[in-house]
Amino acid sequence: MDRVYVTGLSMGGYGTWALAGDYADRFAAIAPICGGGTRQHARRIAQAKIPTWVFHGAKDTTVPIEESQRLVAFLEKFNGDVAFTVYPEAGHDSWTETYENPDFFNWLLSHKRGTTA
């Protein structure tokens, strides 16, 4: 069970942050898409060194990009393993481009819990 990943979009993005924050010892990597969460969850994720790749559309009017920016900044503050991709022309649908990108899946599979494969 060293290759358990969590990703979700919109409310599922919020769920991704919450699940990883509440169960930081269970995940090899996470990818919240156009979501948000709490600083407490972000801090636990950073402390657990869970590789995190965050995605958001710059023109999202459903979940403001500031939700992701705030958590990415918080992960960086606590030396978290984080990457952030902003799609400049995307609105709320930032998941299609993410899930159609083979590099995303290669990135996920390059991680095992507690180490990088």
Q: Which domains does the chain have, with CATH numbers?
A: 5-116 (3.40.50.1820)
Does residue 108 carry a pLDDT above 60?
yes
Let me know: does 50 contact 81? Beta carbons within 8 Å. Answer: yes
The pLDDT value recorded for residue 87 is: 98
How confident is the model over 54-82, as pLDDT tens digits? 999 999 999 999 999 999 999 999 999 99
Q: Rounded CA gap, 109 and 64, in Å?
A: 29
How confident is the model over 17-32, as pLDDT tens digits? 999 999 999 999 999 9
* pTM for this prediction: 0.94
Phi, psi of 47 (to 5 degrees): -65, -35
How would you class 20 by CB atoms within 10 Å of its CB: exposed for 0-12, middle for 13-18, buried for 19 or more?
buried
